[in-house]
Every structure is written in C-alpha cells, then in structure tokens.
Structure 1
Amino acid sequence: MYPWLVFIHSLSAMVSIGPYIVLIPMLRKLKSSEGAVTDSYLDSFQFTVRLTKHAGHVLVGSGLLLMWLGDWPWTTSWIAGTFIVLFASLFFLARAFSPTIRKLREPGHDRIALVRKLGRALYIYLFVLFLMLWLMVMKPQLW
C-alpha cells in the first residue's frame, strides 16, 4: 500500500504544479486579447486554480497517510518546513488569483496592470510550489 500512496502523492504533486506552467504563455496573450478569447483565458486560470486546489487536497491527505504509515514524526525538519510553507501559501492562494480575475472580467479596468499583477502572483506561487517540492524531494535537515 505504501508504494501506491507514494505514487498518488507524486501524481497529485504533478497535478498541483503542472497546470500553472501552461498559464505562463497565456499571460502575454491576455494583454492584447479581446472578448470571448479573453474570457477563455480567464476561464483557464480559474479552472487551473480549482483543479490544483483539489489536487492539493489529495496531496496533503496522501502526505499525512505517508507520514503515519512511514512513522515520520511532525518534528522532522523538512516535514515541518513544508507544512509552514503550505499554510502560508494557502493564504496567498486565496487572495492571489480570484480577485484579480474578477477585476479583469469587469469593464473599464487597467488590463496591463491587472495582467502584470496576475503574472507576479503566478510566478510567486510557482516559486512557493517548487520550494515545497524541493523540501519533499531533497528532505534537507533544517534544524
């Protein structure tokens, strides 16, 4: 059972990170898109946030089961560090994408500034996700 949980955990990590990479080329196109095309790009952003949120639930659940079955204590530095980064990222994710996407759907907005804000949020969140991935893969002794 443990190897299957590792597989599920790894797959959910890929689903949690991968779709954000696809959004990078959309940022440039979003600056100049019009009408239905803009809506499809914004729908892609919203779908990605929703998909990765649910994949994150599987990721955390499988990680907790792996900790329990593998007898990993909470005090292990890379586990504690990952959970600290995870909880910080939850607050960031809640405010990073949805409000900006909502404003982009409204008429009379400063598109360039909002797309720049969306891009900054995307790159910051990717950094946070890769930081958690690094902690999980490299398992550094932080203390």
Structure 2
Amino acid sequence: MQWFYTGIVFLHVLSAVGSVGPLFLLFPIISRIQKGSSVEQTTLLSLFKWTTRFVMHAGHVLVVSGVILILIGPWPWYTSWVIVTLGLMMLSIVFLASGFSTVLNRFPKEPENRDILLKKLKNTSWRYIGLLVIMLYLMVVKPSFW
C-alpha cells in the first residue's frame, strides 16, 4: 500500500507543477498578442486557450489525486488546512471560468477593446497564480488554523 500512496503523492506533485507552471507562459503570449498582426493574434489566442485548458486538466488530476490522498492518508477532511484549501480551490474555479473564458470569448467580438482585454487576462493570470501558490503553501506546510 505504501507504493500506491507514494505514487499518488508523485502524481499529485506533477499535476501541481502542470497546473502552475504553464501559467507563466501566458505572459509572453500576452505581450506578443499586443504587438502581433491579426493573423498572429488568432494563433496566439489559440495557444493561450490551449494553455489554459492544459492547466485546467492538470487541475482535475490535482483534485482527484488530492481526494485520494485525503481518503487514504493520515489527514481527515475536517482538518483546517484541507478546508481552507478546498475554499481556495472553489475561488480558483471561478477565476479560471470567468476570468479566462469570458475574456477570451470577447476577443473576436471586440477588437477595439484588445488592450483592456489583454490587461484583464494578465491580471487574471496573476490572481490565479497567487491562489495556486497559496494552495501549494497549504499543501506543503499544512498549517493549523483552528
């Protein structure tokens, strides 16, 4: 059983890297969209969408592996760091869905607002990275809040 737990921990860590790391690729993409032609912008927006989908699916693996670790590990569901992490996870779902999807869908419809939309994408990316880093801290340190 120890090998299974270790394997799930490894999968959990890999999925955490996969859900945070690619977000840093979004910033160069955003700056290239600002400077690119409309054909380049379409390609870069497609790459941006692909990157956010990859992050989303890595997040799914992260959540499933985290649930398995809670079920078979030594921490109960009512542990304070688990509850706080779950709350932050709900916030991150809202940010990913509303922050990225709606803005990306507005790009073809509102080319005159490109700079405003790119600024929103950049701000949303930083907020999402911040939430994920806080969740990473909670998973590693496992602080007791109550």
The two structures have a TM-score, normalised by structure 1, of 0.94
- Which amino acid letter does the alignment assign opposite residue 109 of structure 1? E
SS of structure 2 residue aligned to 1:110: helix
Q: What CA distance in whole angstroms lies between the structure 2 residues aligned with 1:110 and 1:3?
A: 48
For residue 107 of structure 1, report the CA deviation from its aligned partner. 5.3
- Counterpart residue number, 1:27: 30
- Counterpart residue number, 1:61: 64
- Counterpart residue number, 1:131: 134
Q: What CA distance in whole angstroms lies between the structure 2 residues aligned with 1:64 and 1:112?
A: 40
Structure 1: runs of 5 or more not aligned: none
For residue 109 of structure 1, report the CA deviation from its aligned partner. 2.5
The two structures have a TM-score, normalised by structure 2, of 0.92
Given candidates 101, 104, 108, the residue that maps to 1:101 is 104
Runs of 4+ in 1 over 3 A off after TM superposition: none
Are the equivalent residues in 1 in contact too, given 2:29–2:48 (CA < 8 A)?
A: no
For residue 105 of structure 1, report the CA deviation from its aligned partner. 2.2
- RMSD of aligned Cα (Å): 1.2
Q: Which has the higher mean CA deviation after the structures are superposed, 50-59 or 7-16?
A: 50-59
Q: What CA distance in whole angstroms lies between the structure 2 residues aligned with 1:108 and 1:86?
A: 32
- Which amino acid letter does the alignment assign opposite residue 104 of structure 1? F
SS of structure 2 residue aligned to 1:105: coil
Identity %: 38
Are the equivalent residues in 2 in contact too, given 1:12–1:59 (CA < 8 A)?
A: yes
Q: How many residues align?
A: 143
User: Residues 94 and 140 from structure 1, CA distance in 2 versus in 1: closer, same or farther, beyond 3 angstroms?
Assistant: same
User: Residues 68 and 84 from structure 1, CA distance in 2 versus in 1: closer, same or farther, beyond 3 angstroms?
Assistant: same
Structure 2: runs of 5 or more not aligned: none
User: Residues 108 and 87 from structure 1, CA distance in 2 versus in 1: closer, same or farther, beyond 3 angstroms?
Assistant: closer
- Counterpart residue number, 2:113: 110
Are the equivalent residues in 1 in contact too, given 2:81–2:142 (CA < 8 A)?
A: yes
After superposition, give the CA deviation of every residue in 1:13-41 in whole Å (9 maximum; x if it has no partner): 11111110111122222112112211121
Given candidates 8, 11, 14, the residue that maps to 1:5 is 8
Q: In the alignment, does 2:114 pair up with 1:90?
A: no
- Counterpart residue number, 1:142: 145
After superposition, give the CA deviation of every residue in 1:61-112 in whole Å (9 maximum; x if it has no partner): 1111111111311111111110010012112211001111122223542111
Given candidates 62, 65, 78, the residue that maps to 1:75 is 78
